[in-house]
Copies of this chain bind each other. A is one copy, B any other.
Amino acid sequence: MVRKNHRFTLAARPVGLVKPTDFAFEEDDLRELDDGELLVKVRYISLDPAMRGWMNEGKSYIPPVAIGEVMRALAIGGVVESKHPRFAVGTHVSGLFGVQDYAISSGEGVVPVDPRLAPLPVMLDTLGMPGLTAYFGLLDIGKPVAGNTVVVSGAAGAVGSVVGQIAKIHGCRAVGIAGGADKCRYLGEIGFDAAIDYKAGDVKARLREHCPKGIDVFFDNVGGDILDAALTQLAPRARVVICGAISQYNNTTPVKGPSNYLSLLVNRASMTGMVVMDYAPRFAAAIGEMAQWMAAGKLRSHEDIVPGLAQFPQALLKLFTGENHGKLVLELPA
C-alpha cells in the first residue's frame, strides 16, 4: 500500500510578515521505511512564534529551514509503521515532525507521550514546550519569591498564561500584558491579579499603577516598546527573562533595542536569555509537577485548535497578528 503525503515546504524566505506564498503545498507518495526508521501519522501540529525565526537565514540556536524543505514544526502523532527498535506501532510520540500528514523519522528527538496524562493538544501546550518554557524561564531565570510582582508580556499566549499561573502558585502578584479586552478578561479568569491592554494606551502608566513596588520579574515574550516600558518600572535587583520578541520577528528594519536598558544599571538588575531545550534532562519532572497542578485545578490550559493541514499558512499568521486565543494547534484527521 502506497500512502499519499501532503506537506508545506518553505518556498521563499519571508520579508516582514509571513505570507501564504512563502510556502508551497505539495503531495507525493511515501517511500518505504529503511531499517531504524519509524512512520508517524501526524495528529496535532504546534504553531509557535519560534517558527518565524527558523525561516530566516543565518546563525541561531538551530539551523534555518532550507528552501524546499518541509516546514519545521513540533507535532504529536501515532506510530503507524516501525522498523525502529524503540518505537512500536500504536505508540504516541512527539517530535519535530514538520507541517505534513506523515513523517518518516530516525527516532532522533522523538519522545513517547502518555495520552492518559492529558488530551494530546495539551501535550503541545501547557504540558509541552510552551509550558516548559514558562516553567524553567520563570523559576530558573526569574527566580520569583513569594510576595514578588511578576509581569509577563504576551500574557494570553501559551507561554505567558502559564507564567502568570505559576507565579500565583508561588505566592507572587501576577500582572499580564496582552492585546485587547477579550484577552485581558481571560487573564482575570485564570487568576492574574491585573491585566494591561497594550492596545488601550499607556502601558508605562498602567504598570506604575498595578506594580506600586516595581517589577521584580519581567518575563518578556514580545520585545519592542513593551520591553522598554517595563524597564522603566523595575524594582531593585529585578530579573528580566528574555524568552522571545514576537513584536520584532517580522521586522524588515533592524530590531528595536531596549532604549531603557540603563535601568539595569540603576536597579542592579539583570536581563537573561533562555532556550528551553537546555533543560531537557528536567522535562519529565517539570511535566509531572505541572500535571499535578492541572489535576488540582491550579493550572489551566486553553488551546485554539484549527482543523485541517491546508489552514497552516493562515493559522500561522494569526500568531503574529495576535488573533489567536490560547495555544494555536493545527488538527489533522486520525
Closest to A267 in B: B273
Interface residues on A, range: 20 to 34
Closest to A271 in B: B271
Q: Quick one: given A228-B257, A257-B259, are A269 and B273 in contact (CB under 8 Å)?
A: yes
A74 within 8 A of B: no
> Which of A113-121, A122-130, A237-245, A300-308 forms part of the interface with chain B?
A237-245
* Contact B256–A264 (Cβ < 8 Å): no
Chain A 213-255, CB within 8 Å of chain B: the 1/0 string?
0000000000100001000000000000011110010000011
In the complex, chain A residues 259-280 whose Cβ is within 8 Å of any chain B Cβ: 259-275, 278
* Contact A262–B268 (Cβ < 8 Å): no
What is the total number of copies of this protein in its complex? 2
A60 within 8 A of B: yes
* Contact B254–A257 (Cβ < 8 Å): no
| Residues of chain B within 8 A of A267, CB atoms compared | 273
Contact of A269 among B59, B264, B272 (CB under 8 A): B272
| Residues of chain B within 8 A of A248, CB atoms compared | 262
A228 to B254, CA, bound (A): 12
* Contact B257–A265 (Cβ < 8 Å): no
Minimum CB–CB distance for A55 against chain B, Å: 16
| Residues of chain B within 8 A of A260, CB atoms compared | 255, 257
A60 to B265, CA, bound (A): 10
| Residues of chain B within 8 A of A242, CB atoms compared | 261-262, 264-265
A258 within 8 A of B: yes
A35 to B257, CA, bound (A): 53
* Contact B272–A264 (Cβ < 8 Å): yes
| Residues of chain B within 8 A of A274, CB atoms compared | 265, 268
| Residues of chain B within 8 A of A265, CB atoms compared | 242-245, 273-275
| Residues of chain B within 8 A of A263, CB atoms compared | 273
Closest to A272 in B: B270
| Residues of chain B within 8 A of A270, CB atoms compared | 270-273
Closest to A275 in B: B268
Looking at A61, A256, A257, the one whose CB has the most chain B CB atoms below 10 A away is: A257
Minimum CB–CB distance for A269 against chain B, Å: 6
A142 to B278, CA, bound (A): 21
| Residues of chain B within 8 A of A245, CB atoms compared | 262, 265
Looking at A256, A266, A271, A273, the one whose CB has the most chain B CB atoms below 10 A away is: A273
Interface pairs (27), CB distance under 8 Å? A59-B266, A228-B257, A242-B265, A243-B265, A244-B265, A245-B265, A255-B260, A255-B261, A256-B259, A257-B258, A257-B259, A257-B260, A261-B271, A264-B272, A265-B273, A265-B274, A265-B275, A266-B273, A268-B272, A268-B273, A268-B274, A268-B275, A268-B278, A269-B272, A270-B272, A270-B273, A271-B271
Known pairs A265-B273, A267-B273 / 16 extra A-B pairs, C-beta < 8 Å: A59-B266, A61-B266, A223-B262, A228-B257, A244-B265, A254-B259, A255-B262, A256-B259, A257-B258, A264-B271, A264-B272, A265-B275, A266-B275, A268-B273, A270-B273, A271-B272
